[in-house]
Amino acid sequence: MDILANAAAQLGQWWVDTSVTEKTWLAVGFTAQLMFSMRFVVQWVASERARASIVPEAFWYFSLFGGALLFAYAIYRLDPVFMMGQGIGLVIYSRNIYFIRSDRKSQSSPEAASISKVPAE
């Protein structure tokens, strides 16, 4: 029991000694990591349902938003390795979302609809 009481006392002291700014950035970091991790849950569930490896659109949105928050956290922490890794990822996630939207737009355009129709015989 002494171990738990000591841990609780240390946690309480940490809470008192830590600035609001630091606690806020820790919350941003943990939120970002949770969002970023959710993309794997989304991908896993989608693949299980399809019985094949697929990457749903939500994967890229979780990647983009989680990566953007992690990038902001890396800047706050002044971690150039973390910044570079997340920065490159943001370009990739954005590009995949662009491809998804472009494909959807081209499929819904009148020109695409007339091209994709097969004439009846």
Sign of the torsion formed by the C-alpha atoms of 40, 44, 46 and 47: positive
Domain count, the chain: 1
DSSP character string of 53-67: ----HHHHHHHHHHH
Residue 26 belongs to some domain of the structure: yes
Residue 43 lies in a domain: yes
| 53-81 residue pLDDT tens | 788 899 899 999 999 999 999 999 999 98
**Residue 3, in any domain of the structure:** no
User: pTM of the entire structure?
Assistant: 0.68
User: What pLDDT score was predicted for residue 115?
Assistant: 46
* Domain boundaries, position 76: 21-100
Residue 60 lies in a domain: yes
Q: Is residue 89 part of a domain?
A: yes
Q: Give pLDDT tens digits for 23-37.
A: 998 898 888 888 888
CA triple 97-98-100, angle to 5 deg: 65
Residue 36 within any structural domain of the chain:
yes
